[in-house]
Amino acid sequence: MNGPRRQRIRARSRVLRQAIDALDYLASGTLLTRTKVCGRATCRCAVDPAARHGPYYEWTRRSEGRLVHYVVSADQAQLIALAINNHRAVQRLLAAWERETAAEILQEEVAAIGRSRASRRRKSRETRPSKSGK
Ligand SMILES: [Zn+2]
């Protein structure tokens, strides 16, 4: 495939690669924000939900096939949240890049099949006895 269609597809995949390149930090897993009660009966947290301790940030991720839990600081949680969002963005971008690649590769295939069918049709018409020869 040549020409403007291929150039458009190439340009779109270049934009997708640049978007991936522009991302920094990549993480998977889940980040939970929790507050806790300490269990002391005299503590305000026992009666007032707003007085619960925290927030605490817990990051759960898969590492070498196992789930691992980390308690992280607020600063770390901020970066992890960014990294998890980036991970989702990369997956969307990869899916789009995959579609563009398939469109580019299959367009050649479709064009080739179209051409060979057309030439087969032409040949079969040529071998069919002509109406005038009845
Ligand atoms: Zn407490």
Domain contains 89? yes
pLDDT score, position 21 = 95
Q: Which domain holds residue 105?
A: 3-120
Measured between alpha carbons, how far is 113 from 57 in angstroms, rounded to an integer?
Answer: 56
What would the mean pLDDT of 19-43 be, rounded to a whole number?
95
Residue 114 pLDDT > 90, yes or no?
A: no
Q: What are phi and psi of 130, to 5 degrees?
A: -75, 150
pLDDT score, position 2 = 64
Domain contains 50? yes
The residues facing 67 across adjacent strands are 62
- 56 Cα: distance to centroid of ligand 1 (angstroms): 14
Domain contains 31? yes
Q: Check residue 55 and give left, alpha or beta (phi > 0: left; psi -120 to 50: alpha).
A: beta
Domain contains 67? yes
- 52 Cα: distance to centroid of ligand 1 (angstroms): 6
Q: What is the pLDDT of residues 65-113, one digit of tens each?
A: 999 999 999 999 999 999 999 999 999 999 999 999 998 888 766 666 6
* Residues less than 5 Å from ion ligand 1, measured at CB: 38, 43, 45
- 15 Cα: distance to centroid of ligand 1 (angstroms): 52
Domain contains 96? yes
Domain contains 127? no
